Amino acid sequence: MKTVKYSDIVEGVKKICMDANFDLGDDVLESFKKSRDIEESQAGKDIFDQLLANAVIAKKEKIALCQDTGFSVFFVELGDDVKISGGNLIEAINDGVRAGYSEGYLRKSICHPFTRKNTGDNTPAIIHVDLVKGDSLKITIAPKGGGSENMSRVTMLLPSDGIDGVKDYVVNRVRESGANPCPPIIVGVGIGGTFEKAAMIAKKALLRPIGSINPNPELAVLEEDLLKRINNLGIGPQGFGGRITALAVHVEMHPCHIASLPLAVNINCHSSRHKEIIF
């Protein structure tokens, strides 16, 4: 049995809230560089140059990569041999968010759905906990901006729509989103499960490193096909027209009910931020 202290979780979460917003992952930066070379439109190439320069400033000066520092979304893997001492895990994560968003000069973007009154500290965080075997606790933050989240959808297709129906829906979703989600984007696709499971796996799919190949060969082919069709839309960086609309398409699949074919499309912007901490 491993014991993890409440205060250590708060400190750790505080740090990853800030790191995620200042320090873009190497996989994202690499993909900017590669895409810059492929992009044919000059306005599109300029965007990649700006995004690379933006990442340098953000990291060096600790200014958020994007002013929308997002909803604080967490994926937690809690080992069944882990005990939290001094308090509750969910409260510790929320305390970490409060501290990180305040100390990091990050924007507080969470409000009441109708009155729009801001909660003032970016809580409550969205926390997904998976119970796993073992004695480690892994906490991943993936701050999620509103612009790209608003372009995401869950739909319940008919089983007869099949794989072609899935592909058409995903491509159309990207087409209709246009410049709103700050292309170049990363497209997370969740196929199967239930209404909420599809959304969940679509969001989780966004965590996979850009450039990685799906271990499921069936899905790897689907991802390649979708990426090609999406980039043929011509939306381009920031929607100004160009070859690169998406940097990657990541698909996750789950068995579903004999009556359904749930599909979720979770769009992420190029500011694809995530950081993790393991206890």
Partner 1 sequence: MAEIKITTPLTDEVVMKLKSGDKVLITGIIYTGRDSAHKRLSDLIDKGEKLPVDLNGQIIYFVGPTPARPGMAVGSAGPTTSERMDAYSPKLIKMGLKGMIGKGGRSKQVIDAMIEHKALYMAATGGAGALISKCIKSSEVVAYEDLGPEAIRKMEVVDFPAIIINDAFGNDLYMEGVKKYSR
Q: Which residues bind ligand SF4 (CB under 6 A)?
A: 66, 68, 145-148, 181-182, 269, 271
Q: Which is nearer to ligand SF4, 70 or 262 (CB)?
A: 70
- Binding partner of residue 241 among partner 1, ligand SF4, none, CB under 5 to 8 Å per kind? partner 1
| 34's tokens | 């590669």
Q: d(Cα 99, Cα 16) in Å, to the nearest integer?
A: 11
Q: Residue 8 CB, nearest distance to ligand SF4 (Å)?
A: 29
Q: Which is nearer to partner 1, 87 or 241 (CB)?
A: 241
Q: Does 86 bind partner 1 (CB under 8 A)?
A: no
Q: Residue 28 CB, nearest distance to ligand SF4 (Å)?
A: 12
Q: Residue type for 116, please?
A: R
Q: What angle do CA 238, 242, 244 make, to 5 degrees?
A: 75
Q: Residues 79, 1: contact at Cβ < 8 Å?
A: no
Q: Which is nearer to ligand SF4, 147 or 237 (CB)?
A: 147
Q: Does residue 51 come out as left (phi exceeding 0), alpha (psi in the -120 to 50 range) or beta?
A: alpha
Give the chain's largest Cα–Cα span. 57
Q: d(Cα 75, Cα 131) in Å, to the nearest integer?
A: 11
Q: d(Cα 59, Cα 5) in Å, to the nearest integer?
A: 29
Q: Does 107 bind partner 1 (CB under 8 A)?
A: yes
Q: Residue 91 CB, nearest distance to partner 1 (Å)?
A: 24
Q: Which is nearer to ligand SF4, 186 or 226 (CB)?
A: 186
Q: Residue 264 CB, nearest distance to partner 1 (Å)?
A: 21
Q: Which is nearer to partner 1, 64 or 264 (CB)?
A: 64
Q: Does 100 bind partner 1 (CB under 8 A)?
A: no
Q: Does 271 bind partner 1 (CB under 8 A)?
A: yes
The 223-242 contact track toward partner 1, x by CB under 8 A, reads ---------xxxxx-xxxxx
| CB atoms inside a 10 Å sphere around CB 171 | 20
Residues in the chain: 279
Q: Residues 139, 17: contact at Cβ < 8 Å?
A: no
DSSP 210: T
Q: Residue 36 CB, nearest distance to partner 1 (Å)?
A: 14
How many residues touch partner 1 (CB under 8 A)?
A: 50
| 50's tokens | 């700006």
| 7's tokens | 């205060």
Residue with tokens 């750790």: 12
Q: Does 69 bind partner 1 (CB under 8 A)?
A: yes
Q: Residues 221, 211: contact at Cβ < 8 Å?
A: no
The residues of the shown chain that bind partner 1, judged by CB under 8 A, are: 40-43, 47, 50-51, 53-54, 57-58, 61-69, 105-109, 116, 118, 120, 145-147, 150, 178-180, 182, 232-236, 238-243, 269-271
